[in-house]
């Protein structure tokens, strides 16, 4: 129920932000939707410290005219993201940062199902002319070598198949770093979010160039 309420709130906020289809204009910000789970939503943090907000701030500091919309829902799986895709990414979006799959892995879901859901998300966004930056995830080694191999290949394979900008591991640089994670060991501190933004920034800047070209 909580997840559903959060998703509804996000949908309303997105509709208020976009107000339906928007004509591309050179002076309006690039509108990028961050579609993800709790790592995107900013679980346990004030909204000012959530990944989309910190990323937008960093990009603006570097001179980019951009707006990053937080469409993260805590607990979401890849299938959950697919279910809410059409209203989480409304008309007027110039690109999507896709960060899903961590909860699939933590629940030990079949990597084939995760792959299908992520592939469907990317395929539907491409059909709408919306480019995607794919933020990857690695499986925990305690799930066994077969699971790790199958899961880790998802993002690499989808990026190659669809020609996506790929950031291989969203949690690069923060895993196992106590000061960068909340006490649950799964979610990020504000400093952890800043570390991720610092590391992903070059990939996002490359993606912005693609998104800008796509809308012109």
Among 7-21, 39-53, 98-112, which stretch is predicted with the lowest mean pLDDT?
A: 7-21
pLDDT of 185 reads: 87
Neighbours of 104 (CB within 10 A): 26
pLDDT (tens digit per residue) in 57-91:
999 999 999 999 999 999 999 999 999 999 999 99
38 is catalytic: yes
pLDDT of 162 reads: 98
The answer to whether residue 119 scores a pLDDT higher than 90 is yes
Residue whose tokens read 């992520």 = 118
Predicted TM-score (pTM) of this structure = 0.87
Q: Choose the catalytic residue: 27, 146, 184, 216.
A: 184
Q: Choose the catalytic residue: 37, 38, 74, 94.
A: 38
Average pLDDT estimate for 127-155: 97
Q: Choose the catalytic residue: 76, 88, 152, 187.
A: 187
The answer to whether residue 11 scores a pLDDT higher than 70 is no
Closest to 133 in 3D by CA, of 105, 106, 166, 90: 166
184 is catalytic: yes
pLDDT of 27 reads: 79
All domains in the chain, ordered by first residue: 2-13+33-215 (3.40.50.1110)
Give the angle 151-52-206 at the CA atoms, nearest 5°. 70
48 is catalytic: no
Average pLDDT estimate for 34-63: 97
How far does CA 147 lie from the centroid of its chain?
A: 23
């Amino acid at each position: 129920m909580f997840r559903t309420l959060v998703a509804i709130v996000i949908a309303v906020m997105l509709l208020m932000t976009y107000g339906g289809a928007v004509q591309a204009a050179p002076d309006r910000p690039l509108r990028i939707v961050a579609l993800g789970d709790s790592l995107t939503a900013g679980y346990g943090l004030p909204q000012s410290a959530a990944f989309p907000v910190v990323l937008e701030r960093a990009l603006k500091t570097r001179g980019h005219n951009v707006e990053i919309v937080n469409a993260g829902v805590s607990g979401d799986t890849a299938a959950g993201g697919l279910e809410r895709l059409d209203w989480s990414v409304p008309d007027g979006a110039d690109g999507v940062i896709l960060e899903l799959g961590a909860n699939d892995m933590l629940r030990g879901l079949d990597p084939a199902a995760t792959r299908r859901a992520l592939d469907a998300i990317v395929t539907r966004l491409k059909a709408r002319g919306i480019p995607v930056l794919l933020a990857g995830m690695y499986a925990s080694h305690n799930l066994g070598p077969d699971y790790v191999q199958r899961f880790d290949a998802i993002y690499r394979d989808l990026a190659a198949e669809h020609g996506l900008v790929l950031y291989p591991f969203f949690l690069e640089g923060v895993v196992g770093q106590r000061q960068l994670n909340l006490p649950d060991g799964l979610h990020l501190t504000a400093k952890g979010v800043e570390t991720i933004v610092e590391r992903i920034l070059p990939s996002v800047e490359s993606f912005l160039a693609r998104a800008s070209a796509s809308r012109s």
